Structures are given as C-alpha cells and as structure tokens.
Amino acid sequence: MERKPLSVKKESPPREVPVLLLVLLLATILVLNGLLYLCLSNQDGSLGHAGADPSLCPLGYFRLGAMKNCSPWLSCEAISKEVRKLKRVGEGAVKKVFLSEWKENKVVLSQLTSPELQEDFLHGLKMLKALQSKHVVRLLGFCERHFTILTEYHPLGSLRGLNETLSIPKYKVLDTWHRRLMLALDYVGIIRFLHSSPLGTLVMCDSNDLAKVLSQYLLTSDFRVLVNDLDALPLVNRSAGILVKCGHRELRGDFVAPEQRWPHGEEVPFDDDLMPAYDEKTDIWKIPDVSNFLLGHVEGSDIVRLHLFDIHASCKKKDPAERPSAQEVLDTYRKVLTLLTREAAMPGTREML
C-alpha cells in the first residue's frame, strides 16, 4: 500500500513585528517630545498685561485658599480691621515681615522699616502691582499711607532653604535632578519675564551675592519658584540711553558681573560718578551660579550640568554684548529638560537606534 508523503508545513515569512514596534516607538517618542515642549512653552509663553495668573482673577483681584470668587485687593481699612499679626518672621533693609492671618488664611504683612526708605518701598509696591503673574508672589492688598503690603504666604520660605527643605523626609522623594532642573527653569523664566516685562526691561539689582539672590525668591508648596522682592528693579532702555547702576557703593567679588566692578584699579578710590552704568546682562552673568546651587549634587545633576555647559560658558562672557539673552538661556534649558526627560523615560532608545 502506497504511503502518502507527509505534508510539510511551509515556513512562515519572517515577522515584521520588531520593525513595526520600533517605528511605533519612535513615533511615540516624537509625539511625547512635541507635547512636552508645547507644555513647557505654555508655562512661559506670550504674556499679556502681566502673564497668566494661576488664580484666574483679573488684575486688582485675588483668590486665596478655598475662596470661590475673586476678591478686590484689600484696602487700608480692610487690612486694619481684618488682618491680625501673628509673629515677626524677618526683616530686610526696607521691610519688616510678619506672618499674619486673614479670614483663617495665613498671609504675609510687610511694613516699612525706616522713613528714609519710603521711595524704595513704594517702588517695590508699584512693581508688585504692575507685574502680577504666575512668576510673582500674589498681591492681596496694600496701604500706601501706612506703608503696608499684604501678600500670599508660602510656608517653605525662600530658595535659600531649598537643600534643608529637600532633606525633610516627606520631601526627599522630590530631591531629583528633574525636579531641581524644573526649579532652575522657573528661575530663568522669571529673569526672562523681567527682561521683557510689560514695563520694559527690568534688572534684578538686589543680587550682589548668591545668598541675597536666593532670598528674593520663594519656594511654593508645589515646588515652583516665585519672585518675592521687587524693591530694587530699575528700568533699562539701551536705545534711549537709559542704563542702571545697582546702588552707589563699590561692588566686589566674582558673583557680580565684571561691568559691575570698579574698573579703575585699587590705586583710584571708588567714586560713584566715575562708575560706568550697565544693562540687564548682569542678570545673565549670575544664572550659572544660581542654577548650580539649584541643581545640587543629586544623582544625574552632573549630567544636567554637562548639557548646560556651553550656554553657561556663554553667560560668563566678559563682554556683556556676547552673553545670550534670557530667552536664549530659557530655550536651551527647555531643550535640555526635554532631551533628558525623554532619555530617562526610554533609556535604551539610543542603543536601539
């Protein structure tokens, strides 16, 4: 009896699934990359009168805590009747600062320290009113005749205490290169905002050493950075020949920009009349030092520094005209954040490609 030959299975053609998966992976990465960049751009996008206010209240109004509706800035009478001082929490050259309470909300009450500094105090109030935005501490009210300002309270305090805050057990999980880079990006975003503010190009003059700079900024409970002190914020208009000098005394040290230092040597006594004025590029010079502090020494922070090396080297150019604008620095920070976030999410991508 003739036996039928055994049927032989035809080999299936090689599957194309790995290639398809790779294509899908690359497409996903590109989409995520685009979405992340758009998200970052929207954080600091085009600003109207004073930028997008997270409280969604119009200028002259605020919303705090569990408030459902926006309230007008508190007047002299309202501050006098409704705000209760709890304790003094600080004092600077211009203002004494008190932790206070308004309708069961913690707030900050600032008052003039000395009549001789009225002009500085009122300038700071003017800036605070005009620059209300997501970059600036929220104004709740003021009383010019009593030299009083009421602002939102942020319990984590100034950026000077960042490392101490991140060492607290409940915050240690946030002590990462990504979170720290986001704080640095916030800081550069504030400088960019001040350099292109609704009032013109403003220079952060109260910044002669790192500790002083950090004290001007607040760390919010959701780990964002806000500028808090706007008392020394002069206007630059180079086309109109308007430049600035940050104070009337000699500035020393490597933290301040070269153009802020006395140019005539030790043999010539300092004379403010002979000291040349300068522009907003002094703020750019200080960015690498502030960012270096914000990045800290956590795992991955050295990689971030490596990616920021070129832009930081440009910030330290001796000639102010050769330094990048705050917008250029911000764009670079965003690109580095996007790149490193993508690589952290897809660690094998580089090898696959």
pLDDT at 17 exceeding the cut of 90: no
pLDDT-wise least confident of 52-61, 189-198, 264-273, 321-330:
52-61
Geometric angle at alpha carbon 193, from 189 and 196, rounded to 5°: 140
Strands (E), 36-138: 61-62, 71-72, 83-91, 95-102, 105-112
- Check residue 112 and report its DSSP letter: E
Superfamily of structural domain 157-344: Transferase(Phosphotransferase) domain 1 (1.10.510.10)
What secondary structure does DSSP assign to 168-208, as a single string? SGGGGGG-SHHHHHHHHHHHHHHHHHHHTBTTBEE---S-S
87-97 mean pLDDT: 91
CA–CA separation, 72 vs 51, rounded Å?
19
pLDDT at 21 exceeding the cut of 80: no
Spell out the domain ranges in the chain. Answer: 70-152, 157-344
pLDDT at 308 exceeding the cut of 60: yes
Which has the closest alpha carbon to 225: 162, 142, 164, 140? 162
> What's the mean per-residue pLDDT of the chain?
87
pLDDT at 8 exceeding the cut of 60: no
124-129 mean pLDDT: 96
Exposure of 39 in the CB half-sphere (CA atoms within 13 A): 9
pLDDT-wise least confident of 1-15, 221-235, 326-340:
1-15
The three-class DSSP label of residue 71 is strand
pLDDT in tens, 160-217: 999 999 999 999 999 999 999 999 999 999 999 999 999 999 999 989 999 999 999 9
Distance of CA 71 to the CA centre of its chain: 27
pLDDT at 298 exceeding the cut of 60: yes
| CATH of 70-152 among 3.90.340.10, 3.40.50.1010, 3.40.50.2000, 3.30.200.20 | 3.30.200.20
> How large a percentage of the chain has pLDDT more than 90?
76
CA–CA separation, 33 vs 25, rounded Å?
12
Q: Tell me, what's the pLDDT at 65?
A: 82
Q: Tell me, what's the pLDDT at 93?
A: 85
263-285 mean pLDDT: 96
Q: Tell me, what's the pLDDT at 145?
A: 94
> How large a percentage of the chain has pLDDT more than 70?
82
User: Identical fold at 70-152 and 157-344?
Assistant: no
- Check residue 239 and report its DSSP letter: G
pLDDT at 54 exceeding the cut of 80: no
CA–CA separation, 280 vs 35, rounded Å?
32
73-78 mean pLDDT: 97
Whether this prediction's pTM lies above 0.75 is answered by yes
271-298 mean pLDDT: 97
